[in-house]
Amino acid sequence: MNLSPCQKASILIESLPYIKTFYNQTVVIKYGGNAMINDELKQTVIKDIALMKFVGMNPVVVHGGGPEISHMMKKLGKEPKFIDGLRVTDEETMEITEMILLGKINRQIVSLINENGIKAVGISGKDGGMIQAVQKDPKLGLVGEIKKIDTSLIDTITEKGYIPIISPIGCGENGKTYNINADEVAGRLAAALGAKKLVLITDVKGVMKDQRDTSSIISHIKTAEIRKYIEEEIIGGGMIPKIQCCFDAVTMGVERAHIIDGRKPHSILLEIFTNEGIGTMITT
Ligand SMILES: Nc1ncnc2c1ncn2[C@@H]1O[C@H](COP(=O)(O)OP(=O)(O)O)[C@@H](O)[C@H]1O
Ligand SMILES: CC(=O)N[C@@H](CCC(=O)OP(=O)(O)O)C(=O)O
């Protein structure tokens, strides 16, 4: 798209009210593994996040990486197993999970942001004892349920001008490490940080009534309707922890949660800087 200088200037001017609304506000972005499709799309997501920081917002990124964990498990001869969208995690799976999330994906995101002139710091929920967890369900092994979040490390990173990039791993009693669904971390963190918005980037247009029909997208869901959608099996699989995390975030004070399509270039900016209202919005 070739825009004239005048058109470019008017786009900037139209963004001003949004920049003002979000100035110095925290926006938690969950960047899901299924949305990390190719390098080009990754670059556009990263540039959007860098731009948010440049205009004075405080983006906090929680990343996933489920498909890469499954890929490595298979390479090592282990078959991934999920119950209600959560990975059954034995000790070896936990090691693989930490290696892929913190050792690979977190490092990649930090490098990409740094390349765009903004500095990022990569941590997991174990750093500074940030995310305290307990076992969620013995059936799931080392899958954690968040008990407590200490945001002081994130506050410090943000105050110093860096973007925190967080791997969804928590710590428990006796030095235990827990695998926590990234949506759950993002939702709870958004609430604990008093974020204005939670944005979940995934690989579908949003929540759909019928997944085979993209025009059946539900643009607004109120928390009171969520249980019905799950009971009627309209929402299933990986969408369950996603919608649950939106529920938690908005009932704990986050104004709005959005599930948006990371395959659409600049979906975060369209969500924040325009009235287009892409994806599914969740409010109380
Ligand atoms: N009603 C629904 N609308 C859209 N997607 C749904 C729905 N119910 C279940 N899903 C599934 O949820 C998936 C998104 O969750 P997940 O694969 O865990 O994504 P991510 O890796 O981004 O966290 C979709 O790809 C789709 O298969
Ligand atoms: C307990 C649990 O399921 N943890 C997730 C953590 C990563 C994640 O959530 O990645 P996505 O956002 O890409 O799905 C997992 O092991 O896959």
Q: Compute φ and ψ for 20, nearest 5 degrees.
A: -65, -45
The answer to whether the annotation marks 206 as part of a ligand binding site is no
Question: What whole-number distance in Å separates Cα of residue 166 and Cα of residue 180?
Answer: 12
pLDDT at 58: 97
pLDDT at 38: 86
For the stretch 193-238, pLDDT in tens is 999 999 999 999 999 999 999 899 999 999 999 999 999 999 998 8
Indicate the range of 139-153, 189-203, 256-270 predicted with least confidence.
256-270
**Interatomic CA distance for residues 124 and 38, integer angstroms:** 24
For the Cβ of 167 lying below 6 angstroms from any atom of ligand 1, the answer is no
ipTM: 0.94
Q: What is the pLDDT of residues 49-63, one digit of tens each?
A: 999 999 999 999 999
Residue 256 pLDDT greater than 80, yes or no: yes
- Whether pLDDT at 246 is above 80: yes
Q: Specify the residue with its C-alpha closest to ligand 2, atom 14.
A: 66
Say if ligand 2 is within 6 A of residue 267 CB. Answer: no
- The residues that bridge with 63 in the sheet, in sequence order, are 31
Phi, psi (degrees; rounded to nearest 5) at 209: -65, -40
Tell me 99's DSSP state.
Answer: I
Q: Ligand 1 pocket test: which of 70, 202, 216, 243 has the largest number of ligand atoms within 8 Å of its C-beta?
A: 202
Cβ atoms within 10 Å of 37's Cβ, excluding its own = 13
Is 107 labelled a binding residue?
no
Instruction: Return the pLDDT at 7.
Output: 84
Q: Would you tell me how many other CB atoms lie within 10 Å of the CB of residue 275?
A: 7
Looking at the chain, the whole-number percentage of residues with pLDDT higher than 90 is 82
Give residue limits of the domains in the chain. Answer: 23-283
Q: How many residues comprise the chain?
A: 284
Q: What percent of the chain has pLDDT over 70?
A: 99
Q: Is the CB of 262 under 6 A from ligand 2?
A: no
pLDDT at 11 over 90: no
CA–CA separation, 249 vs 214, rounded Å? 26
76 pLDDT more than 80: yes
Given a contact cutoff of 8 angstroms between Cβ atoms, the answer to whether 249 and 198 are in contact is yes
Dist. CA 186 → ligand 2 center (Å) = 12
Mean predicted lDDT score pLDDT of the chain = 94
Pairing of strands 177-179, 169-171: antiparallel
CA distance 80 to 71: 9
1 pLDDT exceeds 70? no
Instruction: Tell me the fold of 23-283.
Output: Carbamate kinase (3.40.1160)
> Residue 209 contacts by C-beta under 8 Å, 6 or more apart in sequence?
216, 217, 218, 234
pLDDT at 277 over 80: no
Asked whether 125 lines ligand 2 (CB < 6 A), one says no
Q: What is the DSSP string of 218-262?
A: --EEEHHHHHHHHHTTSS-TTHHHHHHHHHHHHHTT-SEEEEEET
Q: Using DSSP bridges, classify how beta strands 58-63 and 82-83 pair: parallel, antiparallel or unpaired.
A: unpaired
Is the CA virtual torsion 40, 46, 49, 54 positive or negative? negative
pLDDT at 169: 98
Write phi, then psi, for 169 (nearest 5 degrees).
Answer: -130, 135
Backbone angles phi, psi at 164, to 5 degrees: -75, 135
Q: Where are the beta strands (DSSP E) in the chain?
A: 26-31, 58-63, 82-83, 86-87, 120-124, 131-135, 144-149, 163-167, 169-171, 177-179, 197-202, 220-222, 256-261, 280-283
- The Cα-based distances of 227 to 78, 186, 222, 240 in angstroms read 34, 20, 10, 10
pLDDT of residue 9: 87
Ligand 1 close to Cβ of residue 234 (< 6 A): yes
